[in-house]
Structure 1
Amino acid sequence: MNLVVPPITPELNKDLSVFLAGSIESGVAQKWQDKVIEELSEENVTLLNPRRLSWDASWEQKIDNPVFKEQVLWELEALEKADMIIMYFDKNTTSPITLLELGLYARSNKLVVCCPDGFWRKGNVDIVCEQYGLQKVNSLEELINEVKKKLE
């Protein structure tokens, strides 16, 4: 497995590349990305994980903040380059950026979505998935299994 995190430029090889889209809200969201990384550690896959190791919650989220802009541009580039996007909505979060990414990539044929009962906008997510024929799964384990199936 090859793990790429910001601000490292996503250079992809022939392996399947998977963007880990989903809930990141510090102190609220479970670190579901860690489980994905652990479960796929022995696979020939490149994981694009937007969870920045050096993130500082005090950074102003404005276009003229160079570190914040670098983060957002990294995510947009990685989403574009990825062969597959797995999306996990933690029911304890609001995940506005994940909802934005769902809208941006609903027509990409790259998405597999997990939105458990209890997520505050589950109805919206379910309707978008139905409307655009997006694959949905019911758990993080199933999301990981979809990556493994794609690797076969």
Structure 2
Amino acid sequence: MRRLLTLSLLLLFSADSFAQNYQATIIKSPNAIPPEDNRLKIFLGGSIDMGKSENWQARIEKQLSNYNVVVLNPRREDWNSEWKPISTNKNFRKQVEWELSALEASDIIVMYFAPGSQSPISLLEFGLYAKTDKLIVLCPDGFWRKGNVEIVSEKYNVPTVNTFNELIVELKKLL
């Protein structure tokens, strides 16, 4: 009986040691992207509009919080809308260079085009990565260039959805 109890306890504790409790790592610009971290990296690209757009990135971070991934979020807590968007502005340059590095390091790029937004930088990034098989796009009705996004997505087989819930479902399929 004692042997059976000991064996049962060993199995119980062994099973607990196999349980995985994951937590996503969120890295926001301008923090360093650790090159030695081999987990799946997900870049959250899309409408920010100098901080005026909904913080949709926080919604995705919450949905991915229990996954063993690294989320790369370009939305800065300390963004200053008075920084001039010129290459000689050190803060602006640092932001753009961080985004370029994060895009390159990413395994998956989520691209969100918000209704009512123009998102010219997001369109540029979308074009840069349309042929890479990294993109998943959320482009609901109301985005001013939805037709352009749809045509490029069709041509290069970019998965494109219309709702946030569809985006989460498609994203989780990739994890």
Q: TM-score under structure 2 normalisation?
A: 0.83
The amino acid that maps onto 1:5 is K
Counterpart in the other structure of 1:6 = 29
Residues 63-88 of structure 1: CA distance to partner in whole angstroms, max 9, x if unpaired? 00111000000000000000000111
2:9 paired with 1:21 = no
Deviation of 1:27 after TM superposition, in Å, equals 5.5
The amino acid that maps onto 2:130 is A
Quick one: structure 1 residues 27 and 82, their matched pair in 2 at CA, closer, same or farther if it must change by over 3 Å? closer
Counterpart in the other structure of 2:116 = 92
| Maintained 8 Å contact 1:28/1:93 | no
Aligned partner of 1:55 among 79, 96, 105: 79
2:127 paired with 1:103 = yes
Q: How many Å separate the matches in 2 of 1:75 and 1:145?
A: 25
Aligned partner of 2:92 among 63, 68, 75: 68
Aligned length in residues:
151
Higher relative contact order (CA 8 A, sep 6+): 1
Gaps of 5+ in 2: 1-23
| Maintained 8 Å contact 2:136/2:171 | no
**Large movers: runs of 4+ above 3 Å:** none
Counterpart in the other structure of 1:132 = 156
| Maintained 8 Å contact 2:42/2:107 | yes
Deviation of 1:28 after TM superposition, in Å, equals 3.7
Q: Which structure's residues are more often helix, by fraction?
A: 2
Gaps of 5+ in 1: none
Residues 83-135 of structure 1: CA distance to partner in whole angstroms, max 9, x if unpaired? 00011110021100000001100111100011001111001110110111111
The amino acid that maps onto 2:138 is C
